[in-house]
Amino acid sequence: MANARAAPCAVLCCCHPTADVYAEGAYEDYGCVLEVWLHKRTRWRYRPSVEQVMAVDDGCAEIRPTSEDQRVLDAIRIGSGLLWYVWSQRIVAFVRRLTYQEAIPILCVALDEAGASASFSGLVEDYASIWWGRTQDNPRLAKLAYRQQLERVLRRYVGHKRSQLLNGTAVDPRGAAGARAQAARVAS
């Protein structure tokens, strides 16, 4: 690209809830989950009221930052703080595709954090039903081969197919490395 400033750049909409991200990019449906890091000098503002930045264009919700925001900011963090709307591509410091082996344990941590009463959509709901021992409540899991396939994935990448919170023992599904990383984040 000869002139990066003159070229239009696609807007990046990033979402933090792993269950939502996995539902949109499930590996089972040939999708993927991307890890996006923003530069430490990113200029952003938090907008708790989504209505301030939402507009409807052809029936599809779209975020339209004000011209002032576009001039002085690189991104907006909106809603409950888990959704980022990035329009300046220069602030994206790092993008990495998580492997299936990395995404499933992170999904299981998200399921544990959401709790047994949380509901999800599609494939994530199927994983949640197995994870919380509610397979009888999910009609999609009545097909034995499908349920067994998802259970094999959980056993392979997490080591078990049910949440350890069901037994009262909390074990980080990401393993010892994940538990150390979480402890380091809490300590800082």
The residue ranking higher by pLDDT, 149 or 83, is 149
Q: What average pLDDT does the chain have?
A: 78
Contact 92, 36 (CB under 8 A): yes
Non-local CB neighbours of 19 within 8 Å, separated by 6+ positions: 107, 110, 111, 114, 118, 120, 124, 128
pTM over 0.85: no
C-alpha–C-alpha distance, residues 124 and 154, integer Å? 12
Q: What is the pLDDT of residue 83?
A: 78
Percent of the chain, pLDDT > 90? Answer: 30
Q: What are phi and psi of 13, to 5 degrees?
A: -110, 115
What's the confidence (pLDDT) of residue 121?
A: 86
Highest mean pLDDT among 11-20, 73-82, 118-127: 118-127
11-68: per-residue pLDDT in tens? 677 777 788 888 888 888 888 888 888 889 988 888 776 554 454 444 445 666 777 8
Helices (H) and strands (E) in the chain, counts: 6, 8
- Taking residues 122-132, what's their average pLDDT? 94
pLDDT of amino acid 57: 47
| Whole-number Å distance between alpha carbons of 71 and 146 | 50
Does residue 186 surpass a pLDDT of 50? Answer: no
Q: Which residues pair with 96 in a beta bridge?
A: 35
Q: Give the least confident one: 20-29, 78-87, 89-98.
A: 78-87
Read out DSSP for 79-124? Answer: TTTTEEEE--GGGEEEEEEPPHHHHHHHHHHHHHHH-TT----HHH
